[in-house]
Amino acid sequence: MPRDRRLVVVANRLPVARNRAGEWEVSPGGLVTALLPVVKARRGAWVGWPGSTDRGSRPFLEERVRMRPVTLSDAEVRDYYHGFSNRTLWPLYHDAIRTPEFHRHWWRAYLEVNRRFARAAARTSRPGDMVWVHDFHLQLVPAMLRELRPDVKIGFFLHIPFPPEELFAWLPWRKQVLEGLLGADLVGMQIASDARNFSRLAREFAGAEGTDTELYIGRRKVRIGSFPISIDFDEFNSIAEHPETISRAKEIRRQVGASRKIVLCVDRLDYTKGFDSRLRAWENMLEEGHVTVKNNVLMQVAVPSRESVPDYAAMREQVERTVGRINGEFSQPGQVAVHYFRRNLPRHELVAYYRAADVMLVSPLRDGMNLVAKEFVASRPDLSGVLVLSEFAGAAREMRRALLVNPRDIDGLVQAINGALKMPRQDVRQRMAILRMVVRRHDVHAWAAEFLEVLNR
Ligand code: GDG
């Protein structure tokens, strides 16, 4: 890890939020866990939106990090965040699973808010700093910041997929977005195909020249690379080994019926996560007698998200209807076919569920990486549990010893879940040991260190 330069992180959200008592508290989540210690170690800074309720805009010191809040008006939250970010870019970058909407007033808000972030980043940075900009909300910031501060190193990392030309070309502002990203010295993507898509589009629409890993804008070099994000392996592993977690996992198993095998799913309630085909596969398995409520249960933890976006509300209703239909058809007194939790579980409780599961089913239709798959294996020091993983999650590129599935193929899902439930113990242990080694070797700290090492070159 290069130690010489100070690090400024620029992300949609600050890493702290006010709790009920009005005090700042570190927000949970992989990105914050990964980056906050790095920023702290470098006495760096973080630029981000403090959340809708807070109007204060003065920089403050928290967690030994200088926080610079960027304030947004209600109209900007509506147009930049719920609109352009969540209803234009999110669906477009996820294979247009829902039709993206294109509105010029949303774009104007995106432009304006990106400019505000760039100005805040410019004011926060000192000559020679590394500025690391994150995610699809802020794709214009690298070029805007370069205009203001050509004396800093600029990195950008995209947490979601970068689409191929057939989709990206739909975007009326495609050239501006590419030029925005090309303002960086290093553009990082989750997997190689995202990086390739970006490089090709940059040559096609933004006048860049060069190869898939090194582009030139005039004489300025922009590096492109894939940096698969990861998790804090040791943290999950040690929570999983804690006696309280072990006894809670046993209790969960007892509560659902000690002899029943648990198939677990954990997702944000998002249409990219593949709820529908996964539930239909489970229904199919019950209908055809591959599984019975007496011996098996599907547990779905679904964390509410983006509830003000109409597609999300509609999807939630559909998921709940399907769960109701399956339970109506198959549940028995004291034994439901699908346990559905629409809530955010505390971290240690989540790990107890990971530990209690026989099969973890992660079947997004498209996902930049998917941290749940990595968290599950980190939570299995007992070397049991089988991971069934969608080919369309970035994580599938590294986690080759999972049972890989096409999430749209119901028969394929049925076969994979069946295979996982019946897998011989020796095979389960071997696969899990390899998966754990993969994630342990490349944890989130290695991810951040690799990105910053390349940026620092
Ligand atoms: C984006 C990209 C990429 C879930 N339920 C609970 C809970 N979670 C936590 C998980 C995990 C996180 O939420 C979800 O992360 P994912 O990676 O699965 O998905 P996105 O939210 O879509 O994240 C994705 C990621 O960015 C990072 O680059 O991998 O592809 O879409 O950490 O643990 N946490 C707690 N209770 C829950 O009930 N505490």
Structure tokens at 217: 């804008």
Does one domain contain both 239 and 226? Answer: no
d(CA 327, CA 306): 26
The residue from 94, 134, 137, 159 that is catalytic is 159
Cα–ligand 1 centroid distance for 259 (angstroms) = 30
Nearest C-alpha to atom 1 of ligand 1 is from which residue?
159
Residues 225 and 245 in one domain: no
Judgement on whether residues 52 and 102 belong to the same structural domain of the protein: yes
The rounded Å distance from CA 390 to ligand 1 centre is 15
CA 199 to chain centre: 22
Token pair in block for residue 438: 């993969």
Range of the domain at 20: 7-230+445-456
Of the chain, the end-to-end C-alpha distance in Å amounts to 11
Strand stretches in 106-179, DSSP E: 130-134, 153-157
- Is there an atom of ligand 1 within 6 Å of 135 CB? no
CB of residue 368 inside a 6 A radius of ligand 1: yes
Would you state the structure tokens that stand for residue 88, as one six-digit string?
Answer: 């234009």
Q: 223 and 195 in contact (C-beta within 8 Å)?
A: no
Q: Cα-Cα-Cα-Cα dihedral of 392, 393, 395, 398, to 10°?
A: 0
pLDDT in tens, 320-368: 999 999 999 999 999 999 999 999 899 999 999 999 999 999 999 999 9
Q: Show the CA angle centred on residue 137, arms to residues 157 and 24, nearest 5°.
A: 90
Ligand 1 probe mutation, 268, 342, 362, 371, most atoms within 8 A of CB: 371
Distances (CA, A) of 343 to 43, 256, 267, 364: 36, 18, 10, 19
- 222 and 261 fall within a common domain: no
Ligand 1 centroid, distance to 254 Cα (angstroms): 27
- C-beta of 208 in contact with ligand 1 (< 6 A): no
Verify whether residue 382 is a known catalytic residue.
no
Residues 401 and 432 in one domain: yes
Question: Catalytic residue among 135, 270, 358, 367, which?
Answer: 367
For ligand 1, whether the C-beta of 375 sits within 6 Å is: yes
Q: Mark whether 272 and 195 lie in a shared domain.
A: no
Inside any domain, residue 38? yes
Query: Residue 61 CA to chain centroid, in angstroms?
Result: 27
For residue 297 the two structure tokens come to 């249960």
Strand partners, 9: 46, 132
Q: Listing from the earlier edge strand, what are the strands of the sheet with 403-405?
A: 338-341, 296-303, 261-268, 359-362, 386-390, 403-405
0.85 cut: is pTM over it?
A: yes
Q: 367 catalytic, yes or no?
A: yes
Q: How many domains does the chain have?
A: 2
Do 115 and 210 sit in the same domain of this protein? yes
CATH number, domain with residue 265: 3.40.50.2000
The verdict on residue 304 lying in a domain is yes
161 lines ligand 1 (CB under 6 A): no
For residue 1, tell me if it sits in a domain: no
Count helices and strands in the chain by DSSP H and E runs: 17, 18
Distance CA 157, CA 140 (A): 12
- Here the tokens at position 445 are 């700290």
d(CA 417, CA 102): 39
Q: Which atom of ligand 1 is nearest to the CA of 394?
A: 30
User: pLDDT tens string for the chain (457 positions)?
Assistant: 445 689 999 999 999 988 888 888 888 777 887 789 889 888 899 999 998 655 667 899 998 899 999 999 999 999 999 999 999 999 999 999 999 999 999 999 999 999 999 999 999 999 999 999 999 999 999 999 999 999 999 999 999 999 999 999 999 999 999 999 999 999 999 999 999 999 999 999 999 999 999 999 999 999 999 999 999 999 999 999 999 999 999 999 999 998 999 999 999 999 999 999 999 999 999 999 999 999 999 999 999 888 888 888 899 999 999 999 999 999 999 999 999 999 989 999 999 999 999 999 999 999 999 999 999 999 999 999 999 999 999 999 999 999 999 999 999 999 999 999 999 999 999 999 999 999 999 999 999 999 999 999 9
Q: Do 318 and 267 lie in a common domain?
A: yes
With a 6 Å cutoff on the Cβ, whether 303 touches ligand 1 is yes
Q: Is residue 450 part of a domain?
A: yes
Any domain includes 2 = no
For residue 407, the 8-state DSSP code is T
- Shared-domain flag, residues 138 and 273: no
Contact yes or no for 435/387 (Cβ under 8 A): yes
What separation in Å is there between the alpha carbon of 145 and the centre of ligand 1? 29
Q: Clarify whether residues 113 and 170 are in a common domain.
A: yes
Ligand 1 atom nearest 341 alpha carbon: 38
- Whether the Cβ atoms of residue 229 and residue 190 lie closer than 8 Å to each other: yes
User: Do 295 and 421 share a domain, yes or no?
Assistant: yes
* Any ligand 1 atom below 6 A from CB of 342: no
Element of type H or E holding 104? helix 104-124
Atom of ligand 1 nearest to the CA of 30: 32
Residue 74 Cα, ligand 1 centroid: separation in angstroms? 26
Is the C-beta atom of 269 inside 6 A of ligand 1?
Answer: no
- Per the document, the length of the chain is 457
Asked if 63 and 192 sit in the same domain, the reply is: yes
